[in-house]
Each structure stands twice: as C-alpha cells, then as structure tokens.
C-alpha cells in the first residue's frame, strides 16, 4: 500500500509508516498546493495531511484515499461528513499536545498581561533610563478570574496551571466537568457569566458550525474593559474584524492570539495594535509534542489501513454500519 504525507514530519512517525507502506513525503518548505496534493495523493491508500490542507469530497473522490490521519487534534480542515459517507476513517492526535497547548496558552496570558513583548521592544530600542515605579505596569493573576470556554483536555490543563497561579476558575462546557471542579475548584457558569466575570477569557473549543465566530463585538462588549482574550484554538471561532475594533477602542484590554481567521494571512490592522501579542500557530510546537503527534498519526494510519479501528477515530460510526 502507498501513503502520502503532505509535509516532512518528525522522523519517528515516518519510520513507522515506512515499515508498512510505500511512503511519499512532500518535501516543500510551505504548505502543499491543492493542485500538487491532488496529483501526489492520487492512487494512494492513505494520506497524512496537515491542518493547512483542505481535505474535501473532491480530494477524496479524485485521489481515492481510504484513510485520513490528520496531523492535528483539530480537524476542521477535513469534511468529516464526506469522509463518513465514503466510509473513510478519519483520525486526529488528541492527548499528546494537551500540555504544550496549555503551556502556550499560559505563555500568551503572561506575555500580554505582563507586557513581555512590549518590554522587550522597549529595552532593545534603548529607551530604558533606569528602574521606574511606574514603568510597564501590567495585570495580576492571584485572585483574578480565568474563564475557560471549552473544558476538554486542553481546557483542563489550562485550569491546572491557573490554579498554580492562585486564580479563580470558571468555565463553559456542554457538560458538567466534575473531575476538574473537584481538582481545582472550577465553577461551571453560563456563557454570559463567563464573559462578564473573566479577567482572562481563553478559548479551547473546536471550530464547528456551532462555534463559528462565537466571539464578536456583542460578546466583547460584555467583557470587562480590563479583560484579556486568549485564543489558541482556531481563528474562525472569533469575528476577527470585530475583535480588532474592540482592541482599538479598548473595549477589552488586550489579546493573545496563536491562531487567525485567514492564517497565514494576518489582518494588517491587527499588526498595528500594541495591545495584542501574536504568534504563528505554535500551540503544539515543542519538539517532543510534534514527534509524538507524528508517531500517533502514523499509528492511526497503520491501524486504519490494516482493518483495525484506530485509537483516535473521529468518525467511529463508519464501523457500526
């Protein structure tokens, strides 16, 4: 069997694939074009795409792929319904990137609130005249409230870190998450309560039709003017134009963003703002995490193509029918 990997991933993942399949790896240094993806994946049994590759019904039908092992926990780049209708197993990489993503979330919280990037620029620009009681004052964490939208694995890992900083934790989720409530004294609240009471609001939800542009000007106006918004999930869960307006008008204090509406395109108005810290979708970007993602995605693809139900199946219903 033949599989296509749409970008060079850490070697341990490729080694697993090579034990079982003929492996073709795209060696380009930016995301593969749709045209090239169609050509290279055509006739392959499986594909290991990145979150930057749109895998829709056309790709499925033209290539004839029989399994998709996404190199990400999020899978809004894949038309899940089209895969399910074609009985194509789709897998993701949950679990292994939970801590790295929670760490990055906290890095953004600290960076925006304690003005790390601004301070670094200030120092490099030679502006520092000496210790100053009023210089670069930022926000606090102890006894402040963090609001977590989406108390899944990553939300819970963020909650544990927040507990360490002495923060109050509130959350929004479809389900009562009793385990984390007991562990860190988190309280489930309504969406509005979460917006109104959070000093730091952080998003840990997948991008679906239900969460598309969940946060816009109407929601931002409910937040405290001193609050910060953090997003390490998907850019499309925020109405970015409205966020930019809110940041420019100081309707909220600032934002820390790892993901963007049209990434890698960045709205030029966002770059002009000084109350935002922006990083290029690096939530899972630690060496160990990216290696583990490669291993898990490869194992998923091996399982899917050798007639087993993969550990991280996204559409298990294809095995029931």
Q: State the catalytic residues.
A: 234, 263, 281
Give the count of beta carbons closer than 10 Å to the beta carbon of residue 279: 17
Chain centre distance of CA 82? 23
Q: Does 312 bind ligand GLV (CB under 6 A)?
A: no
Residue selected from 3, 9, 37, 51 as contacting ligand GLV according to rule CB under 6 A: 51
Q: Tokens at residue 136, please?
A: 């670069």
Options 66, 144, 204, 236; binder of ligand GLV; rule CB under 6 A: 204
Residue 91 interacts with ligand GLV (CB under 6 A): yes or no: no
> Segment contacting ligand GLV (CB under 6 A): 71-79, 219-227, 243-251, 271-279?
71-79
* Minimum CB distance to ligand GLV smaller for 101 or for 168: 101
CA distance 231 to 1: 39
Q: How far is the CB of 65 from ligand GLV (least distance, A)?
A: 20
Q: What is the CA radius of gyration of the chain?
A: 21
Q: Which two tokens stand for residue 96?
A: 């292994």
Q: Supply 129's token pair.
A: 């005249």
Q: Is 97 in the site for ligand GLV (CB under 6 A)?
A: yes
Angle between helix 98-113 and 116-124 (nearest 10): 60
DSSP string, 209-240: TTTTT-B-HHHHTTS-TT-EEEE-S-GGGB-H
- Judged by CB under 6 A, which of 13, 46, 49, 94 binds ligand GLV? 94
Q: Rule CB under 6 A: choose which of 55, 60, 72, 109 binds ligand GLV.
A: 72
Contact 200, 227 (CB under 8 A): yes
Contact range with ligand GLV by CB under 6 A, out of 72-80, 83-91, 165-173, 222-230 = 72-80
ω into residue 264 within 30 of 0, thus cis?
yes
Query: Applying CB under 6 A, does 284 fall inside the site for ligand GLV?
Result: yes
Is 203 an interacting residue with respect to ligand GLV (CB under 6 A)? Answer: no
Residue from 161, 189, 62 nearest 105 by CA: 161
Complex with ligand GLV: residue 51 or 69, whichever CB lies closer = 51
Binding map of ligand GLV across residues 148-187, x = CB under 6 A, - = no contact: ----xxxx--------------------------------
What is the distance in angstroms between the CA of the first residue and the CA of the last residue of the chain? 25
Binding residues for ligand GLV (CB under 6 A): 51, 72-74, 94, 97-98, 152-155, 204, 283-284
């Amino acid at each position: 069997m033949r599989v296509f990997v749409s970008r060079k991933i850490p070697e341990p993942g490729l080694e697993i694939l090579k034990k079982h399949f003929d492996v073709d790896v795209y060696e380009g240094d930016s995301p593969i074009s749709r045209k090239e993806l169609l050509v290279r994946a055509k006739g392959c049994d499986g594909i290991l795409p990145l979150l930057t590759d749109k895998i829709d019904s056309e790709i499925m039908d033209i290539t004839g792929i029989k399994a998709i092992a996404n190199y990400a926990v999020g899978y809004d780049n894949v038309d899940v319904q089209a895969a399910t209708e074609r009985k194509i197993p789709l897998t993701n990489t949950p679990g292994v990137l939970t801590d790295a993503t929670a760490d990055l979330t906290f890095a953004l919280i600290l960076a925006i609130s304690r003005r790390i990037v601004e301070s670094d620029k200030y120092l490099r620009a030679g502006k520092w005249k000496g210790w100053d009681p009023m210089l670069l004052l930022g926000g606090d964490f102890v006894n402040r409230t963090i609001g977590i939208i989406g108390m899944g694995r990553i939300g819970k890992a963020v909650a544990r870190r927040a507990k360490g900083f002495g923060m109050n934790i509130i959350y929004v989720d479809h389900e009562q998450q009793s385990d984390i409530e007991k562990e860190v004294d988190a309280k489930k609240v309504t969406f509005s309560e979460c917006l109104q009471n959070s000093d730091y609001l952080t998003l840990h939800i997948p991008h679906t039709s239900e969460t598309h542009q969940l946060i816009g000007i109407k929601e931002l106006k409910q937040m405290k003017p001193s609050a910060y918004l953090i997003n390490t999930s998907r850019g499309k869960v925020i109405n970015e134009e409205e966020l930019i307006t809110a940041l420019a008008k100081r309707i909220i204090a600032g934002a820390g963003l790892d993901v963007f509406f049209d990434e890698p395109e960045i709205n030029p108005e966002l770059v002009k703002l000084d109350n935002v810290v922006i990083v290029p979708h690096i939530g899972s970007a630690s060496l160990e995490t990216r290696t583990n993602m490669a291993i898990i995605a490869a194992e998923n693809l091996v399982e899917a193509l050798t007639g087993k139900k993969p550990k991280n199946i996204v559409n298990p219903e294809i095995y029931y029918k």
